[in-house]
Amino acid sequence: MTGLDMFINQLPMNLRLEISEEIHRDNFNKFDLFNKIGGRNFLAWVASKLRPRFSAENMYMYQKGDNIDQFYFGIKGILCFVIPE
């Protein structure tokens, strides 16, 4: 956990949600999904869960047998799904 995360976690919940929503507003606008579901509270909650992750070329997000308990939004670059034979 970074110093910024620790600072934000000490703020009141409403303020944390507003900050998270503002930080990720541009990303929400890139995905039609967010325009069609939930209200402001839902988007603020989702925003509070987002964390940046940078991946290099030929990296796998998931591999066969992984427990998938999170999801990713591709903001830049190319993502591929590979179906094993």
DSSP for the chain reads: --HHHHHHHTS-HHHHHHHHHHHTHHHHHH-HHHHHS--HHHHHHHHHH-------TT--S--TT----------SS--------
Better-scored residue on pLDDT, 77 or 28: 77
Query: What is the residue extent of each domain of the chain?
Result: 3-49
67 has a pLDDT exceeding 80: yes
HSE-CB of 78 using CA atoms within 13 angstroms: 3
pLDDT digits (tens, 9 = 90+) for 12-50: 888 877 777 787 777 777 777 776 776 667 777 777 777
Classify residue 59 by burial, with Cβ atoms within 10 Å: 0-12, 13-18, 19+. exposed
- Position 39 scores a pLDDT of 67
- Position 38 scores a pLDDT of 63
- Position 1 scores a pLDDT of 60
Better-scored residue on pLDDT, 51 or 15: 15
